[in-house]
Amino acid sequence: VTRYFFDLRDGDEFSPDDEGTELDGVEAARAEMIAAFPAIAAQRIRDNGSRAEFEMTARDEAGNEVMRASRSFILTQV
């Protein structure tokens, strides 16, 4: 079991994960990234509107970045 920390960047706002989540290896961290990141991003898009750039990185206990995901949402009215 390893503790992973999932930091989120939403545009200029950086919100670090100070607490982390214990997960059973890097595959579990990948599954969490896939489940959590789009859901958190979608929620923020609903809250904040039409333009957003997100990035989530996962760090291990030693502070090494082990994976990164990004997503953007840009709504243009025509």
Q: Which contiguous run of DSSP H or E holds residue 53? A: strand 51-59
Q: Which of 11, 25, 39, 48 binds another protein (CB under 8 A)?
A: 39
Count of residues of this chain found to bind another protein when the rule CB under 8 A is applied: 17
Question: Is 45 one of the binding residues for another protein (CB under 8 A)?
Answer: no
Question: Is 13 one of the binding residues for another protein (CB under 8 A)?
Answer: no
Question: Is 54 one of the binding residues for another protein (CB under 8 A)?
Answer: no
Q: Of 3, 8, 14, whose CA–CA distance to 57 is shortest?
A: 8
**In whole angstroms, how far apart are CA 65 and each of 5, 26, 58, 70?**
9, 11, 6, 14
Q: Provide the minimum distance between the beta carbon of 78 and another protein in the complex, in angstroms, as a whole number.
A: 29
